A and B are shown apart, each in its own frame.
Chain A
Amino acid sequence: MAESSLHLLYFAWLRERVGLGAEDVAVPPGVATVADLIAWLRRRGPGYEAAFGTTAPVRCAVNQEFATPDAAIAAGDEIAFFPPVTGG
């Protein structure tokens, strides 16, 4: 199987720790869920480890809908990571 291309977005303190707000990545075939993606991202560098390797809660959306760590991901998906929301 070929690598899958994903569009990733980071918001609030995740954006600051990763060091960018958006990027396109190609992930290997074994990365099939949000949890897999987080594990893969953490190995990409210290910024990612600072963003995802913390006890602070991280939320996710797949194609602009809230998703849980077991959610499946597929090539072309837009996947966003952010802290629990604090609007209003």
Chain B
Amino acid sequence: MATIRVQHEAIDVAADIAALTAGRFDIGGIASFIGTVRDMAKGRRITAMTLEHYPGMTERALAAIAAEAERRWRLLGCTLVHRVGPMAPGETIVLVLAASAHRQDALEASAFLIDWLKTRAPFWKKESFADGTEEWVDAREADDLAAARWGALSG
């Protein structure tokens, strides 16, 4: 059963790893992806990033993505935490954890989870620049290609 959270508060990576592994002695490895806010985009300095989402659908989409990972790999645990609201460069936007008995399942599942999250979960980024302007971030074709390498939904 995956842990899914969408939150305004800062993400505590160590606390989520501890929660995933508490009382477990069957886990042989935990793979993570931690997404953070960069301070530059298209050569311009970013002062803040704001994440908007679709409450209700977001949680459903994340649960469906985690369930798909659990069908494809032998996972002993899975955590998806996404931050929303305003955040500063350097802060964590997203945390993906996948735990398994052997590393290959955890490593592949974590890559799959972030690739699908980026293309299938309803979040939108807005960048605030040092000159006072704001822009919604455009979707990237590279993200679609990264997600496509995993094929279609199996369930």
A82 touches B136 (CB 8 A): no
Chain B CB count within 10 A is highest, among A12, A64, A65, A88, for A88
Chain B interface (Cβ within 8 Å of chain A)?
Answer: 35, 51-54, 56-57, 60, 82, 93-94, 114, 117-126, 136-140, 143
- Asked if A86 and B137 sit within 8 Å, CB to CB, the answer is yes
* Contact flag A64-B52 (CB < 8 Å), given A12-B136, A82-B122, A85-B124: no
Binding site for B on A (CB under 8 A): 9, 11-13, 57, 61, 64-66, 80, 82-88
State the 7 A-B residue pairs at the shortest beta-carbon distance, nearest first.
A87-B123, A84-B139, A88-B118, A64-B57, A12-B124, A86-B137, A86-B125
Residues of B contacting A83 in the complex (Cβ-Cβ under 8 angstroms):
124, 136, 139
Which interface residue of B56, B93, B124 has the most chain A CB atoms within 10 A? Answer: B124
